[in-house]
Amino acid sequence: DIVMTQSPDSLAVSLGERATINCKSSQSVLYSSNSKNSLAWYQQKPGQPPKLLIYWASTRESGVPDRFSGSGSGTDFTLTISSLQAEDVAVYYCQQYYSTPYTFGQGTKLAIK
Amino acid sequence: EVQLVESGGALVQPGRSLRLSCAASGFTFDDYAMHWVRQAPGKGLEWVSGISWSSGSIGYADSVKGRFTISRDNAKNSLYLQMNSLRAEDTALYYCAKVRLRLLSIGDAFDIWGQGTMVTVSS
């Protein structure tokens, strides 16, 4: 199984500042046939289901604000929120969909400093 | 509107069975792979099982393999999860989720999630 490890477990950032969350996979999730990384990022607010933010490691889902961006390749990935807004307080998860079981990271709780 | 609505969650005793359902609407259900993901109270997300659009490809987490069975009825736009030999550690909110793209033969991110149905396993 591919193990996904996020860092940090929690993060406090001031409004308007940059937030960075890291995700590391235990093996490469680069899909050779399309040269894309099978890595997604989700946002989950209390009492709500997860919401897809980013897929293929760097493609923003329709309707997601452009302050959210994803980067990385192979085994190391990053979710960046360029200017933190109050509504971004949530838990963020990475997920690999390269091979089953489609494992998630343990989550990173983002708060306002 | 694309929508997934789970049902069937309940309080059950260890060792008993339960069947969850997920009703889909607003999209061509039989074109999309579907998945079950669970979340124990206060914990993170755990992928449970997935089924391809044709039911030709099915996968399970090791933690449920041999006890849970995923299935779908495309005529009824419904996804199911038959859960047998339930354990206390199966206690969780169970979500069904749809993949982004139709007729894929590879993995894909989950773009639509239901609100979940709660399963509590306790004596």
Nearest to A102 among B50, B100, B115 (CB): B50
Whether the per-residue pLDDT at A6 is higher than 90: the answer is yes
Query: Nearest to residue B89, comparing CAs of B114, B64, B69?
Result: B64
Amino acid code (one letter) for A67: R
Phi, psi of A108, rounded to the nearest 5 degrees: -125, 120
Percent of chain B with pLDDT over 90: 94
Whether the per-residue pLDDT at B106 is higher than 80: the answer is no
Distance from CA of B44 to the nearest CA of A (A): 6
Q: Encode B38-79 in three state secondary structure.
A: EECCCCCEEEEEEECCCCCCEEECCCCCCCEEEEEEHHHCEE
Q: Sorting pLDDT into bands at 50, 70 and 90, what band is A33?
A: confident
Interface of A with B in 71-90 (CB under 8 A): none
| Chain A contact set for B37 (CB, 8 A) | 50
pLDDT tens track for B52-64: 999 999 999 999 9
Separation CA A81–CA A94 (nearest Å): 14
Nearest residue on chain A to B116, judged by CA atoms? Answer: A49
Terminal C-alpha separation, chain A: 36
Whether the per-residue pLDDT at B71 is higher than 90: the answer is yes
∠ Cα B60 A2 B109 (to 5°): 65
CB contact under 8 A, A101 and B114: no
**SS3 call for B31:** helix
pLDDT tens track for A8-25: 999 999 999 999 999 999
| Chain B contact set for A97 (CB, 8 A) | 107-109
